[in-house]
Amino acid sequence: MFDHLKKEGFRSVRIPVTWYTHQSDTAPYTVDATYLNRVKQVVDLALADGLYVEINVHHDSWKWIANIATDHDKVMARFNSTWQQIAATFKDEPRTLLMESVNEPVINNATDAQRTQYMNELNTSFHSIVRSSGGRNADRLLVLPTQGCTPSQPLMDDLNAEIASLHDPNLVATVHYYGYYPFSVNIAGGTSYDAQNQKYLADTFALMRSEFVSKGIPVYLGEYGLLSEPNSGTVEHGEMLKYYEDLNYHARLNGVTSALWDDANYLDRTALKWREPDLMALIKTSWTTRSGTASTDNLFLPKSGPIPAQTITLNRNGQRFAGLWQGDLPLAPSRDYTLNGDQLTLTSAALTRLAGDRAYGENATLQVRYAQGRPWQLHVISFDKPAVSAATGTTTALTIPTRFNGDQLATMEARYADGSNAGSASWTPFQAFNTAFAPDYAGNALVLKPDFLDALKDGTPATLTFHIWSGATVTYRVTKSGTTVTGTAA
């Protein structure tokens, strides 16, 4: 796997290590020697490939370190013992091995001021132990997190002060980034990588620069991604591509080293193939240049009747438009499309030709090519408005027979007759994709999940509005009675 990552152009790997499952939970908190040797073997495999490597104390952070406020002495004793053993094992490794004190530290049952105090105590103790352990640990790069690895200004201010107090030029700050929450999990109508998302991302990375990079403190973005899995369908594919392209650009712009969090959702570790090859190609391209995108990656065409021209907006990202292609064949300007500023219009004649026999679903794929970077794909799709049917189920699940007719689900809005929100996400009518509901395209169904159904008021009908990517909406009414749930097309 490390060989493959090296060939793919990656230059570092962060190896999360969970210790408590292989460690005594009483003094002297000895780590199992076999496990410790296995961690070293894995680290050495990565180092042998010329990769920078980071190891840490990972899930322990919320398993036992989080109790520092109520069990201070025991937590600190265990934390110190853990790092004494790690530091001794790895003290002779090359300087391309980095050590991170603790992953996403959470401190329970404490005030904000106390959390800052305990966070500083953990980082200071880690720093002292590693530095005094001898060997190459004397000047090894040590990585210190904010609380929760959250990139907010108050928490980065705290870490900045802590780093300054240690008077050590070989320290690195680390934070994580998973995007603007409503978009990251597709809730509260956050279906698109819109201007609000873009500003939130740009402001956060600019803050990393002003807080650390501009002061000579490197930033390691130890995890980035989305809170929803990339291949889950939660975030529409084109919107996801725009997010990753923009994120990697802003990381590069602000001097931030980035690490993609992958718990096997990106790389098939057995086949050594990317599960989303176009996404990975975009990410790798973004290390050196930008790729142009567009306002959408889908062109929805009516299943029957005349097909009108369609206009999309190009997001050039500094790139020059270099044509519209279908495979190896360029489309003809004027005849097939026109370009007015950033407005790209495909003609009725071109779309009618591309739709072919107008079978439901994707009829053709186009590429918007730019002078540099990855092409932007446009999927030409024939559709009709989806249709739903009556269903009966339980609070375990309600499976709604659905003809998607080539269209795709964007989100679900749920309200009671009085206008109040229905469902588990009571703060918004737009429920969480794949948590409250999910499409089953292969099974011709929409599935309402227990998270949503259990939260419904008993005996009070709720009206669901399914928002579809073509712009259509479909209305449905559900009623829970005890553990029984019934639904009808509204």
pLDDT in 10s for each residue of the chain, 490 residues: 999 999 999 999 999 999 999 999 999 999 999 999 999 999 999 999 999 999 999 999 999 999 999 999 999 999 999 999 999 999 999 999 999 999 999 999 999 999 999 999 999 999 999 999 999 999 999 999 999 999 999 999 999 999 999 999 999 999 999 999 999 999 999 999 999 999 999 999 999 999 999 999 999 999 999 999 998 999 999 999 999 999 999 999 999 999 999 999 999 999 999 999 999 999 999 999 999 999 999 999 999 999 999 999 999 999 999 999 999 999 999 999 999 999 999 999 999 999 999 999 999 999 999 999 999 999 999 999 999 999 999 999 999 999 999 999 999 999 999 999 999 999 999 999 999 999 999 999 999 999 999 999 999 999 999 999 999 999 999 999 999 999 999 8
Tokens 């370009």 locate to 339
Q: Of 100, 162, 211, 223, which one is the catalytic site residue?
A: 223
Q: Can you give the pLDDT at residue 490? A: 85
Residue 104: phi and psi, rounded to 5, are 40, 55
Q: Please confirm, yes or no, whether 104 is among the known catalytic residues.
A: yes
Alpha carbon distance 84, 87 (integer Å) = 5
Cβ pair 400, 447 in contact under 8 A: yes
What structural domains does the chain harbor?
Answer: 2-285 (3.20.20.80), 299-383 (2.60.40.10), 387-489 (2.60.40)
DSSP string for 234-261: SS-HHHHHHHHHHHHHHHHHTT-EEEE-
Tokens 């060939």 locate to 7
Q: Of 54, 93, 104, 239, which one is the catalytic site residue?
A: 104
Q: Please confirm, yes or no, whether 223 is among the known catalytic residues.
A: yes
Tokens 């709604």 locate to 400
Cβ pair 303, 382 in contact under 8 A: yes
Q: How far is CA 318 from the centre of its chain?
A: 25
Tokens 């991302």 locate to 201
Q: Can you give the pLDDT at residue 231? A: 86
Structure tokens at 264: 């096997």
pTM: 0.97
Nearest to 436 by CA among 448, 454, 421, 445: 448
Q: Can you give the pLDDT at residue 305? A: 97
Q: What is the DSSP letter of 374?
A: P
DSSP string for 100-146: ES-SS----S--HHHHHHHHHHHHHHHHHHHHTT-GGGGS--EEEEP
Exposed e or buried b per residue across 312-346, where buried means at least 16 C-beta atoms within 10 angstroms of its C-beta:
bebbbbebeeeebebeeeebeeeebbeeeeeebeb
- Please give the helix or strand (H or E) that residue 161 lies within, else none: helix 153-166
Q: Please, what sign has the CA dihedral across residues 433, 435, 441, 445?
A: negative
Q: What is the DSSP letter of 33?
A: H
Q: Can you give the pLDDT at residue 5? A: 97
Residue 2: phi and psi, rounded to 5, are -65, -40
Tokens 């027979």 locate to 401
Alpha helices in 49-71 (DSSP H): 60-63
Q: Can you give the pLDDT at residue 216? A: 97
Alpha carbon distance 155, 176 (integer Å) = 12
Tokens 């069990």 locate to 71
